[in-house]
Amino acid sequence: MSRIGKIPVKLPKEVKASINKDTVLLEGSKGKIAINLPSSIKVEQKDDQLVVLRDGDTKQNRADHGTIRARLENMILGVSKGHKKDLEIQGLGLRVQAQGNKLTFNLGFSHPVEFEVPKDLKVTTPTQTAIMLEGVDNILVGQIAAKIRDLKPVEPYKGKGIRYVGEFVRRKQGKSVTK
């Protein structure tokens, strides 16, 4: 039995779950989200807990068991509290501006870079060098944050670029002149 998969997921009072044969839909104060279940995995609701069960003992079934349980826990956290990623831009002249769900970056290229954020996410720019992504789905929040970061990855010599808040970037020494 999977060590992660056998732990029941606690369902808070403000979150409602509706379980079908192959999908689980969770609704909370922040929104709603659904997950499709593999054919070998079943989810049952017992009181205020969700229990994940599997049919067989193949390697794929064991992997799905723990994965679905972890995804359900993250989904419950998302619909009740939400998921958030903070990014920062470092470098002279590098900045961002938000207009609705569209981000316009000045990243030192010859043209501004426009990035369309999905409707499911809320994006804000408290300053010209900070980006906050909020949403219900932690996978979508993380994926969009990674795509934004890939627009201008942090370079190791001066540390310029887009990074997660608190991310450590290992710096390299530049060329040294020897006589």
What confidence tens digit (pLDDT) does each residue in 39-77 have?
A: 999 999 998 999 999 988 899 998 999 999 999 999 999
Q: Are residues 159 and 92 in the same domain?
A: yes
> What is the model's pLDDT at position 148?
96
Q: How confident is the model at residue 1 (pLDDT cuts 50, 70, 90)?
A: low
How do beta strands 95-99 and 23-27 pair? Answer: unpaired
Unique residue bearing structure tokens 């779950």: 17
Q: Are residues 64 and 99 in the same domain?
A: no
Residue 72: how many CA atoms within 13 Å on its side-chain side?
35
- The Cα-based distances of 111 to 21, 104, 152, 154 in angstroms read 50, 10, 13, 19
Residue 26 within a domain: yes
With vertex at residue 73, the alpha carbon angle to CA 87 and CA 166, rounded to the nearest 5 degrees, is: 20
Q: Are residues 13 and 57 in the same domain?
A: yes
Q: How confident is the model at residue 177 (pLDDT cuts 50, 70, 90)?
A: confident
Residue 148 within a domain: yes
Domain final position from 49, 65, 80: 80
CATH of the domain at 30: 3.90.930.12
> What is the model's pLDDT at position 15?
92
Rounded Cα distance between 113 and 136, Å, is 26
Q: Are residues 56 and 26 in the same domain?
A: yes
How many structural domains comprise the chain? 2
Q: Which residues constitute the domain of residue 125?
A: 83-164
What confidence tens digit (pLDDT) does each residue in 21-48 have?
A: 899 999 999 999 999 999 999 999 998 9
Q: Are residues 55 and 128 in the same domain?
A: no
pTM attached to this predicted model: 0.88
Domain final position from 32, 60, 80: 80
With vertex at residue 59, the alpha carbon angle to CA 53 and CA 61, rounded to the nearest 5 degrees, is: 25
Pair 107, 113: CB distance under 8 Å: yes
